[in-house]
Amino acid sequence: MAEPTSRPVPGREPAPDAEPEPSPRSMVTDFLGMGLGSALCLVVGAGAGLAVDAVAHTSPLFTLVGLGLGVVAGVFYTVAKVRQNL
């Protein structure tokens, strides 16, 4: 005798499979990437400020502005990566 096959009920979709757990290695690389990306934002901002200060002879002004912009960019980058991985 043939076994009955399960048929989907009209109007009801099957439950989606659970997402696989991320491996510890991928989590570590995600966190390292976030840290390096944030640090890169700080270095680029401060470096750009130093370069403008060297040309304009306005010693700490643009260095501080560039560093502040680097901090803001680093925060936005980190928040975007955290939201992506949630």
Q: What residue numbers bound the domain in which 64 lies?
A: 37-85
Instruction: Please tell me the total count of domains within the chain.
Output: 1
pLDDT in tens, 16-54: 666 677 787 888 888 899 999 999 999 999 999 999 999
Give the side-chain half-sphere CA count within 13 A for 69. Answer: 13
Structure pTM? 0.69
User: 61 lies in a domain?
Assistant: yes
User: 22 lies in a domain?
Assistant: no
Cα–Cα nearest to 82, from 42, 32, 31: 31
